[in-house]
Amino acid sequence: MKLNRVLMAFVMVGAVSSSAFAGKMLNKKIQADMQESNKDGLESVNKDCGSQIKLQIPMEQYDQKVWGQNDDGASGTYPPCGIVMDGIRQVCAKSDDFKKAVASTLKILVCQPTSAEKFSVKMVGPKLVFKAAKPDADSNPSTDAVVKAIIAEIDK
């Protein structure tokens, strides 16, 4: 009887570990897909702004249920990184001073999927952290709102 309990415990631990491993692998696939889908947009930002911004997409707060991914990661909604990239491009187009500020201060764009009800934009050192609201949130931003938020952060 004791042997059966020990064996059952090993089976349960194996199942949980396997599920956690599969989840991490899926997140890596989704993260790679997001990086690839934003590659052209990032190149455009860097060209328009004279910058060398890199993109980071942390997955710690990514929730498959919130963002609508299937188990294979094949469908669903990705965080709207494009909207913050459009915002950065528009900021650079506003004036040479903004363009210089972006090129000299912004080195990393962090596009973070969250389950928050509202988006946020914040400069943290050389990083512009864009926390995307969940896809069905009524408060997802317009490009104008993102531009205003970026300018407010650059002007600090």
Mean pLDDT split into 10-residue runs, the chain, 156 residues: 52 45 63 81 95 87 59 53 91 96 95 78 94 65 89 90
pLDDT at 81: 83
Contacts of 122 (CB under 8 A, 6+ apart): 128, 129, 153
Q: Which domain holds residue 30?
A: 2-154
Q: Quick one: pLDDT at residue 122?
A: 94
Strands ordered across the beta sheet of 108-113: 54-56, 108-113, 127-132, 120-124
Distance CA(135)–CA(138), nearest Å, equals 8
pLDDT of 50: 97
What is the rounded CA–CA span in Å between residue 87 and residue 125?
19
